[in-house]
Amino acid sequence: MSLNEIPLYIQINPQDNVAIIVNSKGLSQGTIFPCGLELEEYVPQGHKVTLTNLAIGDAIVRYGEVIGHAAAPVKRGRWLKESLVKLPTPPELDELPIATKIPDRLPPLEGYTFEGYRNADGSAGIKNILGITTSVQCVAGVLDYAVREIKKEILPNYPNVHDVVAINHTYGCGVAINAPEAEIPIRTIQNIAMHPNFGGELLVVGLGCEKLAPSRLVPSGDHGSIVSLQDENGFTNMIKTIKEMAEERLTSLNRRQRETCPLSDLVVGLQCGGSDAFSGVTANPAVGFAADLLVRGGATVLFSEVTEVRDAVHLLTPRAVNEQVGKDLIKEMKWYDDYLMKGDADRSANPSPGNKKGGLSNVVEKSLGSIAKSGRSPISGVLSPGEKAAQKGLLFAATPASDFVCGTLQLASGMHMQVFTTGRGTPYGLAMAPVIKVSTRNTLMEQWHDLIDVNAGEIATGKATIEDVGWSIFHYIIDVASGRTQTWAEKWRLHNDLALFNPAPIT
Ligand code: CA
């Protein structure tokens, strides 16, 4: 009998009264587990089986935490379907314990470095890319035309430069630019224009009459970095000017060589998308272990996705390194609660239909799995959406959970690369930064063998431990940062659009 055929379930915490089914095809009625539990009905992979009889209103416990209450009586050995789980109320933000269980700092991890590119401002990059930023969407077509020609005619002459990327977005005009919340999209574009993977070579293409003045994207005030289309004499000249200015920058980028950098120069973002019930058991804890290794090595790790930590925030505030960090975390949660309330949005809008098919009943269960990515380190700081990371260690970077918006905001915070866990599967990628995809299940790895970089599925079958996979992810991160390994998304050049978070009005 192969491992796949032995009936397996995973109970995460001894207090849990539900467990999830491991076997890829689910398990049929009458299946008897080694512990004696017998299934009363078919239960699909990743879905929950009840380990005890539940009366109506009884707490349903997974990860040692209440994920809901029984909406009806449920007997032991039944499939605990989503409709049987009533959503509990989220933790009260005014009553959270702050800095009450600050984890001991894990011992420093010595001897790890990566091969990166040193920037003039002291930061390091892991790619050598020419980024061309736009101040308004109006110019996107012209810039795309120019970038196509640059890639075809000029870039091949500069073999040390990896790519030319147009930073197109939907912002810049037709927006309430002075609204208080406009600071989020504006600082996002500002920080992305100066991203460490662009080597400090700034080039901005603007129109000339937009609300977001191109000069706001040039911190040095160096107007030699701006092309203003309304000052150009026709389309052909616009393209010529952009190409000439691009070539000047490609010349200097081409001189750069990789050099050994300490891990403290590295900023790694974490995200999940297309999650399933295995996310919190396999991929996210393994990523959490890798996150701890990075923090121990002095790196910066960003974890995000407010709507997916909100219901588990009572487990995060005690880990805040001090009172201020705890308060900052709560402030970001409050801001997002208000934002959702303004839009009359219900938090049950998350999880997605795919998450539910993967066995996740509600946002509480999803959150408990999601925060496993943050590992066990103290939380040393909190960033508002799009703010640049100014300190090392584990930081909470407040972003929506939307994959593209989270990716864009983590780039603005200075992320060099992202580690992305997925159970259902997504081909997501970013043009400016490598994305390492970690699968939660063996079946996804088999099905998407040329899209998934690291498989954490063997943790569920017992063939690998969280530590094994965590170390693999850590080594993979260093190899990708050093340019020794390319992720599948890099190889296939899979790039999602940047998606700004703009909570301010559009006019
Ligand atoms: Ca996400």
**Cα–Cα distance for residue pair 409/387, rounded to 1 Å:** 8
Ligand 1 centroid, distance to 273 Cα (angstroms): 4
What pLDDT is stored for residue 219 in this prediction? 83
What pLDDT is stored for residue 323 in this prediction? 97
Rounded percentage of the chain residues whose pLDDT exceeds 90:
91
Ligand 1 centroid, distance to 39 Cα (angstroms): 33
Ligand 1 centroid, distance to 464 Cα (angstroms): 26
For 414-440, how does the pLDDT look when each residue is reduced to its tens digit (9 = 90+)? 999 999 999 999 999 999 999 999 999
**Mean pLDDT computed over 449-477:** 97
Structure letter (DSSP) for residue 332: H
Q: How confident is the model at residue 221 (pLDDT cuts 50, 70, 90)?
A: confident
Ligand 1 centroid, distance to 323 Cα (angstroms): 28
Is the pLDDT assigned to residue 5 strictly greater than 70?
yes
Per DSSP bridges, beta strands 59-62 and 65-70 are: antiparallel
For 53-100, how does the pLDDT look when each residue is reduced to its tens digit (9 = 90+)? 999 999 999 999 999 999 999 999 999 999 999 998 888 999 999 999
For 181-203, how does the pLDDT look when each residue is reduced to its tens digit (9 = 90+)? 999 999 999 999 999 999 999 99
Backbone CA torsion sign across 24, 28, 34, 35: positive
For 297-322, how does the pLDDT look when each residue is reduced to its tens digit (9 = 90+)? 999 999 999 999 999 999 999 999 99
What pLDDT is stored for residue 486 in this prediction? 98
Backbone CA torsion sign across 422, 425, 431, 434: positive
CB atoms closer than 10 angstroms to residue 490:
23
**Which residues, including other chains, have CB under 8 Å from residue 400's CB and lie 6 or more apart?**
305, 306, 307, 406, 409, 501
Ligand 1 centroid, distance to 401 Cα (angstroms): 4
**Which residues, including other chains, have CB under 8 Å from residue 303's CB and lie 6 or more apart?**
270, 291, 309, 371, 373, 374, 394, 395, 396, 397
**Mean pLDDT computed over 15-21:** 96
For 27-54, how does the pLDDT look when each residue is reduced to its tens digit (9 = 90+)? 999 999 999 999 999 999 999 999 999 9
**Mean pLDDT computed over 370-384:** 97
Ligand 1 centroid, distance to 421 Cα (angstroms): 9
Mean predicted lDDT score pLDDT of the chain = 95
What pLDDT is stored for residue 220 in this prediction? 78
**Cα–Cα distance for residue pair 488/40, rounded to 1 Å:** 42
**Cα–Cα distance for residue pair 360/355, rounded to 1 Å:** 6
**Mean pLDDT computed over 322-333:** 98
Is the pLDDT assigned to residue 116 strictly greater than 70?
yes
- Burial class, 22, CB count within 10 angstroms (exposed 0-12 / middle 13-18 / buried 19+): buried
Ligand 1 centroid, distance to 379 Cα (angstroms): 20
Q: How confident is the model at residue 222 (pLDDT cuts 50, 70, 90)?
A: confident
**Which residues, including other chains, have CB under 8 Å from residue 139's CB and lie 6 or more apart?**
205, 206, 207, 229
**Cα–Cα distance for residue pair 495/489, rounded to 1 Å:** 8
Rounded percentage of the chain residues whose pLDDT exceeds 70:
99
Ligand 1 centroid, distance to 52 Cα (angstroms): 33
Ligand 1 centroid, distance to 307 Cα (angstroms): 10
- Joined together, the tokens standing for residue 67 give 């994920």
Question: Are 49 and 78 a contacting pair, CB within 8 Å?
Answer: yes
Ligand 1 centroid, distance to 283 Cα (angstroms): 14
Ligand 1 centroid, distance to 405 Cα (angstroms): 8
What pLDDT is stored for residue 1 in this prediction? 40
Ligand 1 centroid, distance to 304 Cα (angstroms): 9
- Burial class, 159, CB count within 10 angstroms (exposed 0-12 / middle 13-18 / buried 19+): exposed
Rg (CA), the chain: 24
Ligand 1 centroid, distance to 125 Cα (angstroms): 24
For 161-173, how does the pLDDT look when each residue is reduced to its tens digit (9 = 90+)? 999 999 999 999 9
**Cα–Cα distance for residue pair 449/466, rounded to 1 Å:** 21
Ligand 1 centroid, distance to 272 Cα (angstroms): 5
**Mean pLDDT computed over 151-178:** 97
Question: Are 90 and 312 a contacting pair, CB within 8 Å?
Answer: no
Question: Are 226 and 149 a contacting pair, CB within 8 Å?
Answer: no
Question: In 3-state terms, what secondary structure has residue 392?
Answer: coil
Q: How confident is the model at residue 347 (pLDDT cuts 50, 70, 90)?
A: confident
Pick the closest to residue 368 from 22, 65, 5 (CA basis): 65
Question: In 3-state terms, what secondary structure has residue 49?
Answer: strand
**Cα–Cα distance for residue pair 463/218, rounded to 1 Å:** 52
Ligand 1 centroid, distance to 395 Cα (angstroms): 17
CB atoms closer than 10 angstroms to residue 348:
9
**Mean pLDDT computed over 358-370:** 91
**Cα–Cα distance for residue pair 392/114, rounded to 1 Å:** 17
Ligand 1 centroid, distance to 374 Cα (angstroms): 14
Q: Of 265 and 344, which is predicted with more confidence?
A: 265
Is the pLDDT assigned to residue 346 strictly greater than 90?
no
For 132-145, how does the pLDDT look when each residue is reduced to its tens digit (9 = 90+)? 999 999 999 999 99
Max CA pair span of the chain: 81
Q: Within 13 Å, how many C-alpha atoms sit on residue 330's CB side? A: 21
Ligand 1 centroid, distance to 312 Cα (angstroms): 16
For the chain, the distance separating the N- and C-terminal CA atoms, rounded to the nearest angstrom, is: 64
